[in-house]
Amino acid sequence: MSLRRQHVLVVEDSDEDFETVLDAAQRAGISHLIQRATSGDECLRLLRGADRRRDAQPALVLMDLNTPGDDGREALRQIRNDATLPSLPLVVLSASANPRDLQFCYAHCVNAYHVKPVEHARHLEVPQQIFAYWLGCVVLPD
Amino acid sequence: MNPPGTTEPTPPWGAGPYSTLRHGTALATCDSEPVHTPGCIQAHGALLVLRLGDLCILQASENCDLHLGETATQLLGHSVGRVVGAAGEAQLHQMLEREPPLPGAAYAFTLPARTGASPLDVCVHVSAGVAVLELEATSRAGQSGDPDFFALVKSAVGRLQASASVRDFCQTVTREVYGLTGLDRVMVYRFHADLHGEVIAESRHARLAPWLGLHYPADDIPLPAREIFKRIWIRPLPDAAGPLVELLPLANPDNGRALDMTHCALRGASVMYTKYLANMGVAASLTMPILRDGELWGLIACHHETPTRFPYQLRAACELVAQVASLQLKSVEHAEQLAYRLKLEGVHQELVARSAREGDLLALTEHQPSLLDAIDAGGVALYHLERWWCVGRVPEVPQLEALSAWLYEQPVLESATRPVFATEALASVCPAAAGLEAIASGMLAVALSRQRRGLILWFRPETLQTIPWAGNPRDDPPVPGPQGRRLSPRASFALFVESVRGRSRPWSDTETDAALRLRLLVLDLVITRAERLADLNADLTRSNEELDAFAYVASHDLKEPLRGIHRYAHQLLENAEALDGDNRRRVESLMRLTVRMDSLLDSLLHFSRVGRMELELEDTDLNAVLEEALEMIGARRLESRCSIGIPRRLPQVQCDPVRVREIYSNLLANAMKYKRNADAHIEVGYIGAQDSEGRAAAPDEAAGHTVYYVKDDGIGIDRRHHEQVFRMFKRMHGRDDYGGGVGAGLTIVQKLVQRHGGRVWLDSTLGAGATFYFTLPGWAVSA
């Protein structure tokens, strides 16, 4: 477990959904800072910020696909083509169950793809488990 | 003029020269008669044969004493000056030495009358190295004055040029010649391809019976006579029954040859011909050819009931009319064809334009005008897009199929330049047309594609061609003569009507050309339509993709607020312990409704995906597919404690196993859901393609296909709801009865079956179970 990656980047344009993610983080009991981007552009800006040290990178990017502007897909493509962003855990949490979206995301090497349930209790469970797994179990290179 | 292939080393009249007078009745056939060297002239004039150069009289007609006052014997060996005087001789010299030589007989001068005789018109022409002088009594004696032939001919020519059709034109010809000559009957006699003739125009004295429309056998005008008519413009016979006189001597003393009298107005007529005329009650005839491209197209035949005279000037006028008619004929034919062609072209253009507008070849046959208003036919059949479109009288479809199968074997339809087939006697070439003569004796066909997918056929009925022959063409003429079979003129000219069976009016070049041009127009139209269809397909694909994108975007956008609503309702319930019972129930309903909306959106998405995804057809064992479907819904099977019977093993079938599994799982789930007894029984089976049992409610499209079914003993469906059960989100029961559900299962089943090219239907009455049937023809159908 890396001790240096101290934050999680959540790309989510919906305030309600972001709040659900925050609730889930709280329930998962993680100590990571949660940084929010509301678009793919903003996500890239944050990742490519001035401080490029590896430990400045997030421990996890949790991304919604359908965000305003350059949407999540474009951000995804750029992240995976960026040699300065290696081994960045990227998990999609999208409302879309479109097989094309799934195909696209896995073709661009997302680490996992989840569909947002409408039922709140189940919706809460998904990011909770994601946080528990990626921030609690997964080991990343230094 | 022997027909090719026959040899007559010694003619019947022996080795010497021929004379109609001596040998005219000893002939075997008309076609062997040397009509251009008859050795005789008509006795109403005199003829002298002169040696070119010294104009010495070599031969003279035996009636010279009557016309010239000296016998032939007295004249022979003398210069022509003895007859025409020095001035006449000088003028003849001048005419004969003129370059270019005289084209035919030319008027030279008129000899003044001797005592007790008329003045003589003298005509001269050159024939095979001798000058021929013909002397005939002029008409001028006894007449107050000549008609102005120049003015008459000039106005006649003007009227000929105004004719619009060949028939009009010929009618004008007979009217003009009738007016010019004053003869009893003037006809235009047209030769058909088989050389028989038809009277196509006539002007006659009121007391005579009409001969218009009569046909005459080819024999009536023997070949040698036809040949002569290609070289001369007029043939006068002023007194058919009049005597003939021989030339003295019969052969030219310089070279022993008989005189070629082709261009002689006085040429003695064949006995055959004069008898023929006598049989018809004709005493005098005047005949002019109508030539077309050097071929004998027809004759202007004039008859008179009493002997008459054809003075030189009248003959010249008639010759001119014949020449003008010959020159004009072609342009009249062209004008007539052009008018017809323009009409055909106009109608065809209009038809195709309308088809293009309406996007359907149906316009060619359905509306006014139709194809029937262009090329003159009894009926038209168009084969396009696997079916026949017909207008007018055409054969039945099975017969059309047989005809087109035969047609496609004809190499001419494959021709790159003229893919057109035309016949006026279809049954004589095509066995499939036997018995169709009344409708399809004639057929004109063009192919619309090389792939045997398009044809236009025009049909013409049998013109039970009633041909009114002038006398029976077969029975009468050949009677044996002293020299074997020889022709003699027919005794009877009573009307003889012959029916020609199995033939229609022939198709003209104008019509076949128009058919070919129509073919190009239609091909163009079909290609344009194919392009438009391709565009539409592209548009459809695009809009399908857009719909696809829309469905997912909508799902995302609709679900986002839904999640928000659910979330707040959830928080309300969790945090507001103080909510009273009513409000708590309301919030709970709110949450249940959002969940329901969510599953509706999911079903909608699934349905739209089912319609668009590619089927993956493979040879599938339905038993395995059914097993998987049962497993998928297995949990419910346990719950509901039902039994599932499979009377016989299901067959192998070409289908997409994943989709068919979905069909079965939906139908099975329904069967279990809507049970009547606690212990439901479900039967899964099929009806073989050849079995007729159990197909009572089956739609026509299911005929010949294996029918699969899922049968339950549940609550059944009222007959009036049978159509509705397949409608999207249509539920027959309360929202939460029978385990709930969004009402998309059967809609998806129907879509999946349709994608396999099949049909789904049900048989059920309320309270007596339901059976759902479906077919899987095994080809993928695009959405």
Give the residue-averaged pLDDT of B236-244.
Answer: 92
List the single residue in A97, A99, A118 with the smallest CB-CB distance to B563. A118
Identify the pLDDT of residue A95.
82
Alpha-carbon A93 to chain mean position? 8
**pLDDT computed for residue B451 by the predictor:** 66
**Average pLDDT value for chain B:** 82
* Stated pTM of the model: 0.56
Query: Does residue B522 contact residue B383 with C-beta atoms inside 8 Å?
Result: no
pLDDT at B140: 52
Q: Which residue has the higher pLDDT, B639 or B657?
A: B657
Does residue B309 sit in helix, strand or coil?
A: coil
- Confidence bin at B18 (pLDDT 50/70/90): confident
Q: For the segment B277-304, what is each residue's pLDDT rounded down to a tens digit?
A: 888 889 999 999 999 988 999 999 999 9
Q: Which residue among B553, B566, B605 places its CB closest to the CB of A118? A: B566
For the ranges A51-60, B551-560, B607-616, the one whose mean pLDDT is highest:
B607-616
**Per-residue confidence (pLDDT) for residue A114, from 0 to 100:** 94
ipTM: 0.71
pLDDT for residue B1 is more than 80: no
Which helix (H) or strand (E) is B697 found in, with range? Answer: none
Q: Kindly indicate the confidence band of residue B305, based on its pLDDT and cuts at 50, 70 and 90.
A: very high
Cα B200-B203-B204 angle, rounded to 5 deg? 125
Kindly give the pairing relationship between strand B244-248 and strand B57-61: antiparallel
**Sequence ranges of the domains in chain A:** 7-136
A122 near A129, Cβ under 8 Å?
A: no
Which of A17, A116, A119 lies at the smallest CB-CB distance from B595? A119
How many other C-beta atoms lie within 10 A of the C-beta of residue B566?
27
Per-residue pLDDT at B299? 94
Residue B50 near residue B131, CB atoms below 8 Å: yes
To the nearest whole Å, the CA of A28 is away from the closest chain B CA by 18
B513-544 confidence digits (pLDDT tens): 999 988 888 888 877 777 778 888 888 877 77
Instruction: Summarize pLDDT for B460-506 with one digit per residue, the tens.
Output: 988 755 566 666 555 444 433 333 333 344 544 555 555 567 888 88
**Residue B480: predicted pLDDT:** 36
Q: What architecture is domain B360-462+500-507? A: 2-Layer Sandwich (3.30)
Q: Is pLDDT above 80 for B363? A: no
- Fold classified for B615-775: Heat Shock Protein 90 (3.30.565)
Which residue in chain B is spatially nearest to A120 when comparing CA positions?
B567
Segments in chain A forming alpha helices (H): 15-28, 40-47, 72-81, 99-107, 120-136
Q: What is the pLDDT of residue B468?
A: 64
Bridging pattern class, strands A60-63 and A7-11:
parallel
- Domains B1-144+242-269 and B360-462+500-507 in one fold: yes
Fold of the CATH domain B1-144+242-269: Beta-Lactamase (3.30.450)
Interhelix angle B149-161/B166-181, nearest 10 degrees:
170
Residue A9 and residue A61 in contact, taking contact as beta carbons nearer than 8 Å? yes
Residues in B lying within 8 Å of A, measured between beta carbons: 552-553, 555-556, 559-560, 562-564, 566-571, 591, 594-595, 597-598, 602, 605, 609
Q: Give the residue from B548, B552, B575, B602 with the most A CB atoms within 10 Å of its CB, the best one to mutate.
A: B552
Chain A residue with CA closest to B562: the answer is A118
Binned at pLDDT 50, 70 and 90, residue A93 comes out as very high
Contacts of A66 in chain B (CB under 8 A): 553, 556
Does B172 have pLDDT greater than 90? yes
Residues of A in contact with B553 (CB under 8 A): 66
% of chain B at pLDDT higher than 90: 27
Residue with structure tokens 């309406």?
B358
Q: Is the CB of A97 less than 8 angstroms away from the CB of B595?
A: no
pLDDT at site B691: 82
Chain A contact set for B562 (CB, 8 A) = 118
State the average pLDDT over residues B131-139: 87
pLDDT of residue B59: 95
**Band of residue B105 on the pLDDT scale cut at 50, 70, 90:** confident
Q: What is the DSSP letter of B776?
A: -
Tell me which residues of chain A have a C-beta less than 8 Å from any C-beta of chain B. 14, 16-17, 19-20, 66, 94-99, 101, 116-121, 123
State the CB neighbour count (10 A cutoff) for residue A50.
Answer: 5
Q: Cβ separation of B569 and A118 shorter than 8 Å?
A: no
> pLDDT at position B779, please?
62
Over residues B701-716, the mean pLDDT reads 88
Please state, as a whole number, how many other Cβ atoms lie within 10 Å of the Cβ of residue B245: 24
**Mean per-residue pLDDT, B365-375:** 81
Can you give the residue ranges of every domain in chain B? 1-144+242-269, 146-240+282-358, 360-462+500-507, 511-612, 615-775
Is A52 or A122 the better-scoring residue by pLDDT? Answer: A122
The domain made up of A7-136 has a fold known as: Rossmann fold (3.40.50)
B727-758 confidence digits (pLDDT tens): 777 766 666 667 666 778 888 898 889 888 88
Give one DSSP letter per residue of B141-174, joined into a string: TT-S----HHHHHHHHHHHHHT--SHHHHHHHHH
Q: Which fold has domain B146-240+282-358?
A: Beta-Lactamase (3.30.450)
